[in-house]
Structure 1
Amino acid sequence: MNGLRRHGARIAITLLPVLLALLHAAGVWRLPLLVRLDQFIYDARLRATMPGTLDPRIVIVDIDEPSLQKLGQWPWSRDKLARLTVELMGRQQAAVLGFDVLFAEPDTSSGLPVLRQLAAGPWHDDPKFAAEIERLAPRLDHDALFAKALAGRRVALGYYFTQTAEARATGALPAPALPLQVFPPESEDVAGWNGFGANIPQRAAAAPEGGFFNVVLDPREDGVVRSVPLLARYEGTAGRPGYYASLALAVHRLLDGSPSAPMPVFAPATSPDESPALEALLLGAGASHLRVPVDPSASMLVPFRGRGGARGGSFRYVAAAQVLDSALAPGELKGKIVLVGATAPGLQDLRSTPVDAVFPGVEVHANIISGLLDRRLLVVPDYAAGYELVTLLAAGLLLAFGLSLLSAPRAALLALATGAGLVALNSCLYLGAGLVLPMAAALAMVPLAFAFNMSWGYFVEARASRSLAGLFGTYVPPQLVDEMRADPRRYSMRAQSKELTVMFCDMRGFTQMSEQMAPVELQAFLNALFSRLTRIISERRGTVDKYMGDCVMAFWGAPVDMPGHAALAVEAALQMAAAVQELNEAHRASGRPEISVGIGLNTGLMSVGDMGSAVRRSYTVVGDAVNLASRLEGLGSHYGVEIVASAATQGAAPECAWQELDLVRVKGKARAVRIFTPLGRKGDAAEGSHAALERWARTLDAYRAQDWHQAQTLLAPLLAADAKKVLYRLYAERLASLALQAKDPDWDGATRFDSK
């Protein structure tokens, strides 16, 4: 919880790109760059996962440039199209034929209308002329020839819908695939049209099945065909109102022989005020039915197989001129789905698609039919927005808290793992279930959140951290500086009152040693000694205050709070004393004089902060508790111990075994204080030491009660066991002197020291 509060600003700045991504996903503030990125991701993934193989079931008869050069400009006379139809459905035995071209006007290329006008006008007096015209009419009526070729065959003619201020309609529509009543009355998601351009009634009647070939450009206005409507709503007056099938859907239905109507499937309404949304179309009947997922506008994403055109390799292309010349072997297209369309640039049936900037419009329909046959369908589910919001929120919160609490390398790994996880989840849903889900906002959010977080860390927190290191680096151990960097705002050089433990450490015998050493040698010795003692202080999380000649001053509990600062200081003091003993062993071997250490410890309330003059300042501690520690440091030699600690320090380090030394009044203090020396950790005490300490405590009680005889009796076994111990000899001398004197009613057992 403290970490969260400490990094609150960093978490907030990291959540900024998360918030922007959520606003985009919710539709509150759509960012065009993210929309375009989603399109790019969809297009790239579509190209990467396309089968790229030939679908032998579908053949495209191409009205290409060579065919136009050989047979003349479009539109061709209908007798040629009649021959084309007979060749494909008769000699070639194609299963279904679909025309991605429109025959909206009668064919007058044979001149039959002109001849009939002559027969009815200037030549009306010549019955032979009129009879000859009617005899030739079956061969000259190209529309009738084409209608005859279409009749009774599985052929779907194409047409288009329009939406204009004044409804315009030409030709005749086929029967609608569904009546208007199938959809809820208030449903307006499916695109509605008020006009159309269809085939002339004669051909429409001959081939009653047909489909519109309108495509839908991406609503995000990049002009790319990604989806195609399978149904269109017509409510005009020139034809039967209803829902009409697309050309691809009409051709697919003809494969059945007795096509059933595509039945809409609606998602349940989320509230009484909303109408059910279209989510799928059921094609066919029985167990073999196909459920085609669509969006509410009845559009499906085009499942492209590969690049477009004859070189794309997705479908076989046959030039229309070759078919008319009967260049194909009989039955070569048997059982195939044949689509007649144009790739000649002048006929303007080229589209921009995700897989190719110039893509034949007829092949868009071919890809839909192929996808329906393979059940290789893509869909943007109705919960896409909810999915995006949930993933963005989950990933955003993970990044906001994770990046703020982790180190930079681990934060980078978290960002990479989060981004990879989002991509993996999205890709699995795409490859496994054909779900097209948005990913751009997530991909943009992850690096932006990382960049915002790291920028804040570098420019704000790192600057504060560097400033902190500059302030405290020379006083505080590196590990404490690292802790302080986690929340630099908590630390400053400003003075404050805190309970701390302070240490004064002085070298005894240093003067004698300095007299026997050259200055350079003495400098090297002091540097090595202070380095070792400072390392011990730093390892126990202490802050070095200053070096004063042969004295070191340090304190614990600031600038970083330490609940166990007294115990750490005592442990450091014991280690420092042991380090000096090791040094003395080396000195004995080299013949140098030995030194000893005197350490004073006190725990109490003191002021800590940046103190000094305008010329020189330092981070230090001052106060009465500091002065007491300085006085205690000088008492160790009197009692024959290296470490002297106050009762406050002794009480704050109960895990250590202590021996009380005395009750003293030091210089400058009227109040007596109890002093102790640490003997090591309680568990490390030698066998019998506990009993000796208890006996010593009873000795002090008798001494302070002026029961000299009892005190001497209790002290005698201790002195006999350790005759060299200065403390015991000191009290033996005191007791011998006091035993000769009368008891003093004002005596409190305290020893006064008038010098440091």
Structure 2
Amino acid sequence: MKSIAKHWPRIAVTLLPLVFALLHAVGVVRLDVLQRLDDIIYDARLRATSPKTLDDRIVIVDIDEKSLAEVGRWPWGRNKLGQLVSELFDQQQIALLGFDVVFAEADESSGLVRLNAMAQNEFKDQAGFSERLRQLQATLDYDAVFASALAKRPVVMGYYLTSDRHGHSTGVLPTPIMSQADLQGRAIRSTSWSGYGSNIAPLAKAAPMAGFFNSITDGDGVVRSLPLIAEYKGDYYESLGLSMFRALAGHPAVLPGFSNERFLSRSYQGMDRVLLKQGDKSLAIPVDERVATLVPFRGAGGVDGGSFRYVSASDILAKRITPGSLKDKIVLVGTTAPGLLDLRVTPVGETYPGVETHANLISGLLDGNVLLKPDYALGYDVVMLVLAGLVLAIGLPLLSAPRAVALSVGVLLALAGINFWLYLSYGLVLPLASSLTMALTAFALNMSYGYFVESRSKRELAQLFGTYVPPELVDEMVKDPDSYTMQAANRELTVMFCDMRGFTKMSEQMEPLQLQALLTGVFSRLTSLIRANRGTIDKYMGDCVMAFWGAPVESAEHAHLAVKSAMEMANAVRDINHEHRAQGLPEIGIGIGLNTGTMCVGDMGSNIRRSYTVIGDAVNLGSRLEGLSKAYGVDIVVSESTRKLAPDFAWQELDRVRVKGKEQAVAIFWPLAPAERLNAEAANELKTWANFIKTYRSQNWDQADVLLLNLMRMNVKKYLYQLYSERVASMRLLPFDPEWDGATNFETK
């Protein structure tokens, strides 16, 4: 213990890489280079351990360059595709057919539409033409020909899901495999989409089983995962690979599987496996938090890759393949032609056929060989980091250089060995880059750097927080620097957003230097009030200032101080406008939003620029409330959570609102004055207003009008009363709604 105490500065330095690695692991400070290194390790390990053997159960019928040259450019007539399907089932006797192609538009290549139009117009008097056309109808309706070939056969069609602002949708979706009710009230984080491109109705009716063929592209542009289940408008649909696997397994039901809550928080929402259940038998397919699975690539892709047999579609159509040579095979129809744009970048190839990713997934499902990045990967990473970091932090300062090297090498080998063993034995893909980098960096720092003295720590603390918090708070902090950190943490704070009104008009009327001087003067006065009330300046955003109370120095009165600061700022703006009128300058207005709640506070940003800031839903709500101040004609809008913690003020309830991005209605208030300064007249007005709000929410419009009339007599210039007068007049035209909760919805930010 004496040795540890003696070397504590070196121990602290050695622990620094551990701190940053943990921040990266939990997502507070994302280091892209570590994620990229993890991807490189995964890709190299996958290539080294893939079987590189042929799976003769699965065959890919390839719409290749040869097929396009012989049959014609894509898309082919559906009569050709019907011929292809019939040949595969009747002559080759395949077991299952899947299409990595979508047929989202009707096929009019036969000219049937034009012929029907001619029969009704220029040749309508020629009975022979119409009769002959009727006889040819069945052969010229290529979609019907294709649908007939698909009907009553084990076929899985393909389609794609998409997201755009308009939610475009074409074709017919298959029946969903799960609904929200199956999730037992949980909100899983599967991929979610707003549109789709699916097959036309005749084909969807003939072959009702279908699966989407979307993949997941990682940040480096590489496809490593395929979602098994995706969400569209509250329903859940299966992928092409899962749909084909279920068809082979006898169409078992699909159920969600959740982790054992004995070992996890009850708030955990993750779905960690897809359950296929048929009678008393069930099969669990492990999935990650996106309900996706890593593709178990067998090896290089393409015709010469050696993982799957490729057969040219033109050879099937031309009957160049011996009948029965594909008997009982699982067949996927796809393309490797570059012009058809279905080539992907994968860990095993930069021009990898998209259809082969689905073949690999089906092969892995058949073999029970599914790679998985489990939901507890974060916990594993943290445990490995902490164990390795503590061993190095305590061991390295106490050892000689050769032994320190041996310890570091041993830790690196142990980290890599455990990780590879879990991968090879259980198919678990767990992070490794952060722990390896942490161990190497800890060794380098321990050998290279000394320690930081206490006085320097204090100066750095003052430098870090000096631009955010008042000097008197910095003085408190430097007395005990170990109690303060910029590491992110969840705390109950009060946040303020203050926006200057009329800034755009001023910017049009004033010279840039004059505008700069005006803004500087206004913000300086408002900032001084925030700091005088122990507030922390977060940032300036154009004509808006953001601040918060309760961090880095904790304060039980953070809500009270924030409200007090807001009221003083509103009074200061009135004084500023009085001065502006005297100087001939434009007047300004402000809107302030205050909210109290749990927020994540800490040092955040990028490796280029960082700041001490707050984030979270409570922060977003504070921003939304600031935007509502103009709608209600007030300068301050405060949430109910802040009002409850600031009882020393007199409050007027403005409304209950449901802001953009929030489903739950929130009561909002306007602080009128400190409670002890409220006069009898104002108190009577508040009492009348409280009765009005109660009457308004009960939809008693006659009584509401009477109360509003009294309120306008008390304060005829108050915009709030005029606003509700218009609302009552509008609501009176509507029938009584027992479901109405009295809230106003705001769809804009």
Deviations 1:340-385 (A, max 9, x none): 0011001000111111111100001000000000000111111111
Match of 2:350 in 1: 357
Deviations 1:159-184 (A, max 9, x none): 11122222221111111122332124
Supply the distance in 2 between the matched residues of 1:173 and 1:135 (Cα, whole angstroms).
33
Match for 2:418 among 417, 425, 430? 425
Deviations 1:559-587 (A, max 9, x none): xxxxxxxxxxxxxxxxxxxxxxxxxxxxx
Match of 1:223 in 2: 221
Supply the distance in 2 between the matched residues of 1:157 and 1:168 (Cα, whole angstroms).
20
Supply the distance in 2 between the matched residues of 1:3 and 1:180 (Cα, whole angstroms).
59
Deviations 1:720-756 (A, max 9, x none): xxxxxxxxxxxxxxxxxxxxxxxxxxxxxxxxxxxxx
Supply the distance in 2 between the matched residues of 1:429 and 1:151 (Cα, whole angstroms).
45
Supply the distance in 1 between the matched residues of 2:451 and 2:23 (Cα, whole angstroms).
28
Deviations 1:499-548 (A, max 9, x none): xxxxxxxxxxxxxxxxxxxxxxxxxxxxxxxxxxxxxxxxxxxxxxxxxx
Match of 1:68 in 2: 68
Residue 213 of structure 1: CA displacement? 0.7
Supply the distance in 1 between the matched residues of 2:266 and 2:92 (Cα, whole angstroms).
55
Match of 2:401 in 1: 408
Residue 37 of structure 1: CA displacement? 0.6
Supply the distance in 2 between the matched residues of 1:217 and 1:202 (Cα, whole angstroms).
32
Match of 1:14 in 2: 14
Match of 2:104, SS state, is coil
Match of 1:202 in 2: 202
Supply the distance in 2 between the matched residues of 1:126 and 1:443 (Cα, whole angstroms).
83
Supply the distance in 1 between the matched residues of 2:266 and 2:11 (Cα, whole angstroms).
40
Supply the distance in 2 between the matched residues of 1:403 and 1:310 (Cα, whole angstroms).
53
Backbone CA RMSD of aligned residues: 1.8
1:263 equivalent in alignment to 2:255 = yes
Paired residue type of 1:133: L
Supply the distance in 1 between the matched residues of 2:21 and 2:400 (Cα, whole angstroms).
25
State whether residues 268 and 277 of structure 1, in contact with CA within 8 Å, keep that contact through their aligned partners in structure 2. Answer: no
Supply the distance in 2 between the matched residues of 1:41 and 1:385 (Cα, whole angstroms).
17
Supply the distance in 2 between the matched residues of 1:26 and 1:12 (Cα, whole angstroms).
21
Match of 2:230 in 1: 232
Supply the distance in 1 between the matched residues of 2:14 and 2:276 (Cα, whole angstroms).
49
Supply the distance in 1 between the matched residues of 2:299 and 2:378 (Cα, whole angstroms).
29
Match of 2:138 in 1: 138
Task: Map 1:43-442 to 2 at 5 A.
Answer: 43-218=43-218, 221-235=219-233, 242-256=235-249, 258-268=250-260, 274=267, 276-285=269-278, 289-442=282-435
Match of 2:25 in 1: 25
Match of 2:316, SS state, is helix
Supply the distance in 2 between the matched residues of 1:54 and 1:351 (Cα, whole angstroms).
21
Supply the distance in 1 between the matched residues of 2:350 and 2:277 (Cα, whole angstroms).
34
Deviations 1:666-701 (A, max 9, x none): xxxxxxxxxxxxxxxxxxxxxxxxxxxxxxxxxxxx
State whether residues 268 and 276 of structure 1, in contact with CA within 8 Å, keep that contact through their aligned partners in structure 2. Answer: no
Supply the distance in 2 between the matched residues of 1:64 and 1:284 (Cα, whole angstroms).
38
How does the TM-score come out when normalised to structure 1? 0.58
Alignment coverage as a number of residue pairs: 452
Match of 2:304, SS state, is helix
State whether residues 275 and 282 of structure 2, in contact with CA within 8 Å, keep that contact through their aligned partners in structure 1. Answer: yes
State whether residues 10 and 451 of structure 2, in contact with CA within 8 Å, keep that contact through their aligned partners in structure 1. Answer: no
Residue 9 of structure 1: CA displacement? 1.5
Paired residue type of 2:34: L
Residue 154 of structure 1: CA displacement? 0.4
Supply the distance in 1 between the matched residues of 2:76 and 2:108 (Cα, whole angstroms).
11
Paired residue type of 2:230: A
Distance 1:187 1:43, change over 3 A: same
Match of 1:60, SS state, is strand
Supply the distance in 2 between the matched residues of 1:35 and 1:445 (Cα, whole angstroms).
14
State whether residues 9 and 451 of structure 2, in contact with CA within 8 Å, keep that contact through their aligned partners in structure 1. Answer: no
Distance 1:437 1:272, change over 3 A: closer
Supply the distance in 1 between the matched residues of 2:282 and 2:95 (Cα, whole angstroms).
20
Paired residue type of 1:27: G
Supply the distance in 2 between the matched residues of 1:343 and 1:181 (Cα, whole angstroms).
40
Supply the distance in 1 between the matched residues of 2:127 and 2:415 (Cα, whole angstroms).
84
Paired residue type of 2:206: A
Supply the distance in 1 between the matched residues of 2:305 and 2:212 (Cα, whole angstroms).
25
State whether residues 221 and 345 of structure 2, in contact with CA within 8 Å, keep that contact through their aligned partners in structure 1. Answer: yes
Residue 16 of structure 1: CA displacement? 1.1
How does the TM-score come out when normalised to structure 2? 0.59
Supply the distance in 2 between the matched residues of 1:385 and 1:271 (Cα, whole angstroms).
13
Residue 271 of structure 1: CA displacement? 7.6
Paired residue type of 2:95: A
State whether residues 151 and 206 of structure 2, in contact with CA within 8 Å, keep that contact through their aligned partners in structure 1. Answer: yes
Match of 1:373, SS state, is helix
Distance 1:233 1:56, change over 3 A: same
Match of 1:283, SS state, is strand
Paired residue type of 1:301: L
Paired residue type of 1:232: A
State whether residues 259 and 284 of structure 1, in contact with CA within 8 Å, keep that contact through their aligned partners in structure 2. Answer: no
Supply the distance in 2 between the matched residues of 1:275 and 1:423 (Cα, whole angstroms).
29
Deviations 1:626-662 (A, max 9, x none): xxxxxxxxxxxxxxxxxxxxxxxxxxxxxxxxxxxxx
Give the structure with higher Rg (CA): 1
Residue 121 of structure 1: CA displacement? 1.3
